Structure formats: C-alpha cells, structure tokens
A and B are shown apart, each in its own frame.
Chain A
Amino acid sequence: DVKVTQSSRYLVKRTGEKVFLECVQDMDHENMFWYRQDPGLGLRLIYFSYDVKMKEKGDIPEGYSVSREKKERFSLILESASTNQTSMYLCASRVEVNTEAFFGQGTRLTVV
C-alpha cells in the first residue's frame, strides 16, 4: 500500500511565525504536490515537484515556498504565517505523470 504521511493532523500557529509542513512518501514517487482546500474553492495547487530539487509554482504560490532535498520528502513552508493561510493542507504523490495520485491525511492549520 502507498503511504503518504503528513507530519501533523492539526496545527495552531501565531501570525508571523514561520511554519513547516512536512510530507513523506514511501514509494519512490517522482511527483509530489501541495494543495490547500477551502470551502467553496476546492483543491488549489500551491506547488508541485517533479523530481528532487525541482519545483513548479501552482495557482496560488504567494506566501509559500517548498523544499525537496530528498525524493521521499516534500516540505511546504509558510514564511510568515497570516490568518488568510488558515486552511486544510493536503499533500499528494504519484509515481510519474499520468498516474494516479495518493493523498496524505491532511493538516488543518489555524493561524491566530
């Protein structure tokens, strides 16, 4: 079974803090994704990575950065958390382009 693990299920952070969300997959997948999900807006792509150290901006990259130093780990960084970044964050990974993606359990982040 494919396993995609996100470091935290729930997280509460203060405005201005630097926040790290970690995602690890155990199946040697090439592609990894970070989405945020908000009511009425669906899943919006923040960043994706198509290989180690390779990344591409999605639809809403502002205020976020990513890091992929090892194939199995893809980190999302909120440089200075703001209240409008309160959301559900979902990580996904897939073997390669055109294959199905598998999701982690999600991190519900609240910025106060």
Chain B
Amino acid sequence: QKEVEQNSGPLSVPEGAIASLNCTYSDRGSQSFFWYRQYSGKSPELIMSIYSNGDKEDGRFTAQLNKASQYVSLLIRDSQPSDSATYLCAVSGNYGGSQGNLIFGKGTKLSVKP
C-alpha cells in the first residue's frame, strides 16, 4: 500500500512569517511530487511540481525534495492571510498503465493570522 503522510495541523503562522509544510511517502519508486492548495468548499489547485532532488522556487513558494529520505516539503515565504487553506501533497510513481496512479496525503491546514 503506497502511502503519503502529512501533519494534519492546523499550522498557525503570523502574517509575514515562513510557513513550512512537510510530507513523507512510502514508495521508493515515486518519481513526481506535487503540492496542491485547497480552499474550503473548492477543488484542489496545483501550486508546484518537483521531480529532482533539491529546491525549486516559484515566487513565494519553494518546494524541496529529498528522495533518499523520501521527504518533500513546501515553504511559503511572507505568508499572507490569503494563503490560509489546506495544502495537499501528492505523489506519483514512474509506472505506466495500471500502476500509474496518483496518491494524496490527507493535507495540512494552514492558518495565517493577520
């Protein structure tokens, strides 16, 4: 059973601070990793994708991947109240056909206080 684990939170940070969200996964064959943001009552929207070890930056967001430790994280710099949402980590293996599913963690709820 492939698993993706996240702390459920809630994670509370003050406005302007760095929010750090973490995710671990069980399948060593995993090749692609995604962070989604989901506002209450809405569907998930993609924030970042990362495929190689190291950091990937996009604006205020930085995704970090360490395949040896089976760990992926998301940093949000200069957090804003509008960043308050649930953040979902998703993992996909490099398997085609019937093995190519996409597994999500349960999500971490982030609250940014003004």
Say whether, besides A41-B106, A42-B104, A104 and B96 are in contact (CB < 8 Å): no
Say whether, besides A42-B106, A45-B102, A50-B100, A98 and B45 are in contact (CB < 8 Å): no
Query: Which of B34, B97, B104 touches A50 (beta carbons < 8 Å)?
Result: B97
Q: How many A-B residue pairs have CB under 8 A?
A: 70
For chain B residues 24-83, which have a beta carbon within 8 Å of chain A?
A: 31-32, 34, 42-46, 49, 51
Are the C-beta atoms of A98 and B32 separated by less than 8 Å?
yes
The count of residues in chain B whose C-beta lies closer than 8 Å to any C-beta of chain A is 29
- Could you list which residues of chain B lie within 8 angstroms of chain A, going by C-beta atoms? 8, 31-32, 34, 42-46, 49, 51, 88, 90, 92-107
Extra inter-chain contacts (12) besides given A45-B104, A100-B34, CB under 8 Å: A33-B102, A40-B106, A50-B100, A56-B101, A58-B101, A97-B92, A97-B94, A97-B100, A99-B32, A103-B45, A104-B43, A105-B42
